Structure 1
Amino acid sequence: MFRFFNFWTFEEGYFETVAKAWKSTLKGNPMYVLMGKLKIVKAELKAWNKDRVGNVMDRVKLAKEELLRAQATLQEDPL
């Protein structure tokens, strides 16, 4: 499954990755070319995300766990 994260557009290298993938030359009818380019962009963004950002869902899970620990600590010993 491909997920697009809006914050990618703020990361260094995002636009270059998309532009490079979109410049791929494909032959066929316009719909085939469009679908092919979208598949190439998808593959390039997945690789870029893995190298540049890492697994976002894992990072979100860790952040939530850290938040829960902090909240528990505050409840046990409020200032």
Structure 2
Amino acid sequence: MDIVKVFGNNLKKYRTSMGLSQEAFADKCGMHRTYISAIECYRRSISLENIQRIADALGIKTYKLFMEEDTDAKNN
């Protein structure tokens, strides 16, 4: 498991499910749009504080950002 990719994919999935652009989401959690973009493109590792800020802005429990999708379940 590549934790940076899992986190980036989950962030994008939850953010887009809320109908938020990177810019709107960045404003919501007090970060810059390019920082959110870098996370979603797997170019950035982030601090625990920022992970919590992102989870809070998404309204989800932090651990959900680290859950790898079960590809076998998707194929059945």
Q: TM-score, normalised by structure 1?
A: 0.31
Highest CA radius of gyration, 1 or 2? 1
User: Which structure has the higher relative contact order (CA within 8 Å, separation 6+)?
Assistant: 2
